[in-house]
Amino acid sequence: MATTTDVSRPQNAVPYYSQGLREKYRIGETQPLPLQKTQASPDISWMPDLEKYLARTSATIRAGGLEKEVPPGWPKHLDSPLAWSGDDFENEDAYIHQLTDEEKVEIDNALMQFKELGLNGDEVNRGNFPLNVLGAYLQEACAEVHSGRGFFVLRGLNPDKYSPEDLTLIFLGVSSYIGEKRGKQDQRGSMLLHVLNRASSAAPHELQEKLKEKEGQPFHNDTVTDIIGLLTRSCASEGGKSIISSCWTVYNELAATRPDLIQVLAKEDWPFDTFGRDPAFYRRGILYHHDGKIMMSYSRRLLVGHDTEPRSPAIPPLTELQAEALDAIHFIAKSHALETSMKPGDIRFINNLGVLHCREAYKDDDSHKRHLVRLWCRNETEAWKLPNALKTAWARVFEDNEREEIWDIEPPRWNGRLLRQAPSCD
């Protein structure tokens, strides 16, 4: 499959695709970057601005001439357990499984049995981490992730009971029942990514207290995985809850009110930034209809940049309609969002193609620091079939054997400071 990227090559850039993937997917050579952009960038930032979004929407509607239908063959409405709103859940019992004493003992026994095998931690799987009782629930939960509401949470582990190594083994053992194939999450080859506030560890002393506060996020996908697994090692002193929203509910609202924006989101002309790698950007869509499913795959950072990682110069800007469509996703998702509580030891799984996620702002203190461990995984049997436009991106994460696998049990450090595990494989 040849890629459709009309991309550019920064000098001395790290290749975005390995040589093996270039050959397998027939990815051609890229061309030098143009010196200047020919189109002005829209006024849009990483954190959505409601006032700007409403003004842009008002201008679009006044101009008229909008598409009145979704793309040919696409559904006008999705009727599915995945098309939920946060108000549909009366309490957390519907999606949080509280581990029983029997299941906790079973986890401990599985951990002991695996360690007695003398294998490396990355070799843990369903066969050597036996969970007969909990496994029956996890089989149902796996189906829920792929063909139900798209997420669930395991609660009840005490992370203080285990060493970081043993807690990681439990995370990998449990996750193998949901998605056994694991992916590389950044250019470095990190298989486990530590989600925490890294800024404060590298800041001058006078900024330490200020940087313990972390801003919230816009809604997004992790873009290059089927399932996100998250282990909560510790929580912030204030805030930091995980917030999710259904992509299918966002789609239904757009189909009913602004089908023209579905047309915009489906076009294969969105310029995704690779932040200095080769190619410097690639084009694909954000929204797909494939094999009877609606799939959303985008990270806002790759399209508009971030304060700490500005968008690369000289690559094509977004259009005004694309800016409006991005903000529409966020604000519709926000109106249907589900805020989920978070406790140390939680293990949560999210269908990354059907559920958007973000987190609220949070504040750490000296004894309470938000620390999650993230895993990208895929269930080869249950995974949604991918459209061709996403297969190359998925191959970088799940098929690239030319990059080393790096398993950081603790956040990587250099000279005592936390290293950022980036650039991402987004």
Tokens of 136: 């029956």
Q: Are 272 and 371 in contact (CB under 8 A)?
A: no
Q: Are 233 and 167 in contact (CB under 8 A)?
A: yes
Euclidean distance between CA atoms 229 and 163, whole angstroms:
19
Query: Looking at the predicted structure, is the pLDDT value of residue 168 above 50?
Result: yes
Q: Are 171 and 231 in contact (CB under 8 A)?
A: yes
Alpha-carbon separation of residue 251 from 234, 290, 325, 352 (angstroms): 34, 14, 11, 15
More confident residue, 214 or 118: 118
Q: Are 406 and 191 in contact (CB under 8 A)?
A: yes
Query: For the whole model, what pTM was predicted?
Result: 0.91
Euclidean distance between CA atoms 255 and 71, whole angstroms:
10
- Beta-bridge partners for 155: 98
pLDDT at 226: 98
Beta strands 227-234 and 181-182 are: unpaired
More confident residue, 175 or 201: 175
pLDDT at 278: 85
Instruction: Choose the weakest-confidence range: 246-250, 369-373, 422-426.
Output: 422-426
Chain position carrying tokens 């906790």: 104
Q: Give phi and psi for 212, each to the nearest 5.
A: -70, -15
CA atoms within 13 A on the CB side of 282: 23
CA-CA-CA-CA dihedral for 133, 139, 145, 148, to nearest 10: -100
Element of type H or E holding 282:
strand 281-284
Q: Report residue 276's pLDDT band, with 50, 70 and 90 as the boundaries.
A: confident
User: Domain locations in the chain?
Assistant: 8-37+47-97+181-418
Euclidean distance between CA atoms 23 and 120, whole angstroms:
31
**Is the CATH number 3.40.1000 carried by domain 8-37+47-97+181-418?**
no
* Tens digits of residue pLDDT in 5-48: 444 555 667 888 888 888 888 876 665 555 445 578 899 999 99
Q: Are 7 and 280 in contact (CB under 8 A)?
A: yes
* Tens digits of residue pLDDT in 325-370: 999 999 999 999 999 999 999 999 999 999 999 999 999 998 899 9
Residues 6 or more apart whose CB falls under 8 angstroms from that of 342 comprise: 232, 235, 240, 241, 242
